[in-house]
Amino acid sequence: MDKDLLKQLRKLSQQYAYTSIQMHEAVARKAGFSGTDHKYLGFFLQKGAMTAGELSSLTGLTTGAVTGLIDRFEKKKLVKRQFAAADRRKVIIEPNTKNIMALLEPLYKEYRNKSGKLMASFSVEELKTIEAYFVKAIEIMTETTDKLNNK
Amino acid sequence: MDKDLLKQLRKLSQQYAYTSIQMHEAVARKAGFSGTDHKYLGFFLQKGAMTAGELSSLTGLTTGAVTGLIDRFEKKKLVKRQFAAADRRKVIIEPNTKNIMALLEPLYKEYRNKSGKLMASFSVEELKTIEAYFVKAIEIMTETTDKLNNK
DNA sequence: GTAATTATCTTAGCCACTAAGATACTTAAT
DNA sequence: ATTAAGTATCTTAGTGGCTAAGATAATTAC
């Protein structure tokens, strides 16, 4: 067992997380977001339309905070409120993917190019290894997050 | 070239980042941190002691915000202020790694166990592939962050 | 048809952030 | 040495997003 390798990898995965947080924040600032809005905007790109309540439980924010969040996004034309036909209490938040992309893409462009090149430098086998790691690691983090939040 | 694999991997790496942010936040809440302090606490574990000014440029916070940040950490005995001998204007912030660890470790314990097992399930070759990916990806993200922040 | 529930919004109060300027120390110039 | 300029941190006033609690509006259960 290569303990040093494991230790090094653990450290790297932590550093990877921190570094991505920092990049994420730098992008947010550049995009003109105050505070943490960029983080929540990502949920829309990932999951698509959702109700205010879903966003609240997804983000852990109170419904009041979500109201404000959507207000800010709506003002910037990044999302649109729509009442659900089936249940008119519900507010469906429809992301304007085009506008969101137009805002974020230029800021991520260079990163995308570089990381594309990086990926291309690996063989298919290697990429599958990395993929497998990501899939499992995401699972573990999601489990951990759920446990921390729900009790 | 396996384009689907590349696309999938790109998506996964993004999801990995978001998921780690969410876990990070869940830990923060559980540890009793208001807002984003946990994120900045990580800098100390990574980089060790630094001056207030370094922390400011590292985090992108104003010096005023850093003063408040250190006040909160100091009150919780997670860091200690010390005037630099060479230049008494400078305030060196010494992390109390022991206390920080004692606070965070229990919350990360299960995650550490699980991700340890995950890593152990890969061969040494595979781990080296993952390591190589991490190292390069971190480089790229750091470059991107620097460019976004410094102009 | 009334009560209970659910989903979102509103309000008051709090706290961390920025911007600007104050304080304290250091370095450079004469 | 003295003065000026520069640097590092802290302080203060004002802003804005967050929570908690309650209001509003729609739905479901009895």
How far apart (Å, rounded) are the C-alpha atoms in residues A22 and A45?
19
What tens digit of pLDDT does each residue of B23-68 get?
Answer: 888 888 888 887 678 888 888 888 899 999 999 988 889 999 999 9
Q: Collect all residues of chain B within an 8 Å Cβ-Cβ radius of residue A112.
A: 10
How many angstroms separate the CA atoms of A39 and A54, rounded?
A: 16
Say what the pLDDT of residue B88 is.
94
- Window 55-94 of chain B: CB closer than 7 A to strand D: 56, 62-64, 66-68, 70, 81, 87, 89-91
Q: Burial level of A21, CB count in 10 A (0-12/13-18/19+)?
A: buried
Given a cut of 60, is residue A121 above it in pLDDT? Answer: yes
CA proximity to A104, closest of A51, A5, A58, A37: A37
Q: In the predicted model, what is the mean pLDDT of residues A44-64?
A: 91
Structural contact between residues A52 and A63, judged by C-beta atoms closer than 8 angstroms: yes
For residue B72, what pLDDT is reported? 95
Nucleotides of C under 7 A from a protein CB: 6-12, 15-21, 24-27
User: Residue A24 is which amino acid?
Assistant: H
CA atoms within 13 A on the CB side of A114: 15
Q: What is the mean pLDDT of residues B90-115?
A: 93
What mean pLDDT do residues A111-140 have? 96
Substitution target in B2, B7, B9, B125 with the highest count of A β-carbons within 10 Å is B9
Distance CA(A52)–CA(A69), nearest Å, equals 10
Across A61-73, average pLDDT: 95
Separation of B95 CA and D9 C1' (Å): 18
Residue among A8, A46, A118 whose CB faces B136 most closely: A118
Q: What's the pLDDT score for residue A52?
A: 95
CATH code of domain B3-120: 1.10.10.10
Helix (H) or strand (E) holding A93: strand A91-95
> Is strand C within 7 Å of residue B35 (CB)?
yes
Q: How many pairs of residues across A and B have Cβ atoms under 8 Å apart?
A: 184
Query: Of A26-30, A81-85, B4-8, where does mean pLDDT reach its minimum?
Result: A26-30
pLDDT band of residue B71 (cuts 50, 70, 90) is very high
pLDDT of residue B123 exceeding 80: yes
Q: Which of B42, B115, B141 sits opposite A137 (nearest CB)?
A: B115
Of A9-13, A90-94, B26-30, B126-130, the one with minimum mean pLDDT is B26-30
Q: Which nucleotide is nearest to A68 (CA to C1')?
A: D17
Q: Whole-number mean pLDDT of chain B?
A: 90
The separation, in Å, between residue A67 CA and nucleotide C10 C1' comes to: 10
Displacement of CA A57 from its chain's centroid (Å):
15
Looking at residue A58, what is its pLDDT?
86
Domain ranges of chain A: 3-120
Q: Read off the tokens for A66.
A: 């979500």
Task: Say if residue A25's pLDDT is above 90.
Answer: no
* Mean pLDDT to the nearest integer, A56-65: 91
SS (H, E, C) chain B: CCHHHHHHHHHHHHHHHHHHHHHHHHHHHHCCCCCCHHHHHHHHHHHCCEEHHHHHHHHCCCHHHHHHHHHHHHHCCCEEEEECCCCCCCEEEEECHHHHHHHHHHHHHHHHHHHHHHHHCCCHHHHHHHHHHHHHHHHHHHHHHHHHHCC
The pLDDT confidence band at residue A151, using thresholds 50, 70 and 90, is very low
| Tokens 């990916």 -> residue | B133
Residue B96: is its pLDDT beyond 50?
A: yes
Indicate if the pLDDT at residue A12 is higher than 50: yes
Closest CA to B42 of B59, B30, B22: B59
A43 or B100, which is more confident?
B100
Asked if the Cβ–Cβ distance from B115 to A13 is below 8 Å, we say yes
Weakest mean pLDDT among A25-29, A80-84, A97-101, B79-83: A25-29
- Give the span between the Cα atoms of A39 and A36, in whole angstroms: 6
On the question of pLDDT at A80 being above 90, the answer is yes
